[in-house]
Structure 1
Amino acid sequence: MSIWEAIILAIVEGLTEFLPVSSTGHMVIASSLMGISAFEFTKMFTVTIQFGAILSVVVLYWKRFINSFDFYKKLLVAVVPALAIGFVLKDVVDAMLERVEVVAISLVLGGIILIFIDRWFREKTNPVTTPSYKNALVIGFFQCLAMIPGVSRSASSIIGGMTQNMTRKAAAEFSFFMAVPTMLAAAGYKVVTDLLHLEISDLLTFDLPKIEAGFNAITPQEWQALLIGNVVAFIVAMAAIKFFVGFLTKYGFKLFGYYRIIVGLVILMLLAFGVDIQVV
């Protein structure tokens, strides 16, 4: 992977991670068009640069993260379903990740839902701005739908928030907050097991030789790509979040729905024309 390819993928990650458009679908198209989707490092790169995107949420909303301990307890309640179900259905999720058509179909179906979602959940006169523990748990179960590739973690959790009478803005922001522990756990696990080729037990027992071997297996060029990718993803994600909150509050989801349908159809067309597309 060249530096320019790393920058392009990082821009795609930053733009799409927190928007309800599925970052997976966009990574599929971008990496395939650049001809790097089959490389093992590409798969690890797309996971690792999520750390940059996660950091953007913490920086933008840093006051919320130091506000109260109750905030963290609600986040914990919200992410428990994804961690538990993800652990139990890991093999099923991994199998779906190998099927590009699942990503494309999920994008199209999710797009159709977003076109009508504002009509289904109109803003109430007394909306919920701060979710209760029950609200957080329900939103957490909605987030589990994102285990289906192409559904979008952001879209599923925001819709979950709207079912709990939250405003679009409040639901979107809580979705951002949920992303921090959820993505941190998922990305951290992938980095340890797939990038460093370690077992979790190696970290828990602090098996220094194995840990050093894992880090040493990454080339200087790969380290450079990872560093640049995370920095770019961080900057772009910050801009994307600011744009999304303002746009969503004013215009709603419909445009994102049409966009998802277009992206899904593009993937299906590429598959129909025999383009070799692999899920990263």
Structure 2
Amino acid sequence: MDWLYAIVYGVVEGITEFLPISSTGHLILTGNLMGVPWSKEVKDAFEVVIQGGAILSVLVYYWRDFLQIRTIGHDKSQQNLWLGVLVATIPAVVLGLLFGDTIKANLFRPSVVAWALIVGGVLMWLIESRRVRPSVTAIEQIGVPKSFLIGALQCLALLWPGFSRSASSILGGMILGLDRQTATKFSFYLGVPTLGGAALKNLYDSRDLIFGEIGLTNVLIGSVTSFVVAYLAIGWLLRFVSTNNFKGFAVYRIIVGVIILALVATGVMQNGSLA
């Protein structure tokens, strides 16, 4: 049955990684509801690997944009864009190195994730309800100062597991004056170095589990599934935000958070550490 678990995990990861609904919360639900027999260490390692497939989908979806980095030497807009992406990555890298292990050991629990989903959903609803006319309508217009602030706000997902990296970066961008499409696109861009760096580090640390207990076949199945589904999810989300707001996601987050709390309260899901 490992191949089936690999496919389901890949689908869930691909759908939720870039949508503002928390991949962490959904992977918790998936593992518990399916009764996946893998150890905690194996689950953690596998989730990291298939996250790489989702990251690769961004590179493929925006391959033309990423190729423009070749013009960075004489293109001021490209210089500002990629400097902004680099600067925005710094807060997550620093906090991750300093407090990542402590946060995982103490806050990586279903109840904490559930409340992050609920609070994030409420904030999302409030931000959408009080939107002002955006001042930034293209990713090249963001600038370094706003990019850094978006990167700092992105760290809310690191400090509070379950809040969602994409939600914190998208909402942060909207608060700073970006329209939905630009905030969403920048969140995709920012996910490449932020998630990619973390994935490579964890891939190296967990290499024995990944290629031993999990098996190369299951790794490939999960990663390819994650890549394909994430690629489709990116296109869908960009089309969605061009004509819709995020209130539907806000309601969905609250519902999922309440479900997790109910499962914990009834004993169906244990509230122990997931790290």
Gap change, CA 1:176 and 1:8, over 3 Å in 2: same
Question: How far apart are residue 191 of structure 1 and its match?
Answer: 1.4
Superposition pairs for residues 162-181 of structure 1, below 5 Å? 162-181=174-193
The TM-score normalised by the length of structure 2 is 0.89
1:192 maps onto 2:186 in alignment: no
- The match for 2:76 is none
- The match for 2:136 is 127
Report the residue type matching 2:230 in the other structure.
A
SS at match of 1:49: helix
Gap change, CA 1:259 and 1:37, over 3 Å in 2: farther
- The match for 2:212 is 218
Superposition pairs for residues 259-270 of structure 1, below 5 Å? 259-270=252-263
- The match for 1:206 is none
Report if aligned partners of 1:28, 1:37 keep a CA contact under 8 Å in 2.
no
Report if aligned partners of 2:17, 2:23 keep a CA contact under 8 Å in 1.
yes
- The match for 1:81 is 91
Deviations 1:42-73 (A, max 9, x none): 21111110110001101111122121332432
Superposition pairs for residues 1-280 of structure 1, below 5 Å? 2-36=2-36, 39=39, 40-68=41-69, 69=72, 70=79, 71-124=81-134, 126-129=135-138, 130=140, 131-147=142-158, 148-193=160-205, 195-196=206-207, 214=208, 218-219=212-213, 222-277=215-270, 279=274
- Whole-Å separation in 2 of the counterparts to 1:54 and 1:159: 20
Question: How far apart are residue 4 of structure 1 and its match?
Answer: 0.7
- Whole-Å separation in 2 of the counterparts to 1:18 and 1:232: 15
Deviations 1:182-201 (A, max 9, x none): 001111111111x12xxxxx
SS at match of 1:89: helix
CA RMSD of aligned residues (A): 1.8
Question: How far apart are residue 34 of structure 1 and its match?
Answer: 1.4
Deviations 1:59-106 (A, max 9, x none): 111122121332432211110010011111123321244321100010
Matched residue pairs, number? 260
Report if aligned partners of 2:45, 2:209 keep a CA contact under 8 Å in 1.
no
- Whole-Å separation in 2 of the counterparts to 1:177 and 1:216: 27
Q: Percent identity?
A: 40
Report the residue type matching 1:31 in the other structure.
G
- The match for 1:203 is none
Question: How far apart are residue 164 of structure 1 and its match?
Answer: 2.1
Gap change, CA 1:38 and 1:104, over 3 Å in 2: farther
Question: How far apart are residue 216 of structure 1 and its match?
Answer: 9.2
Report the residue type matching 2:184 in the other structure.
A
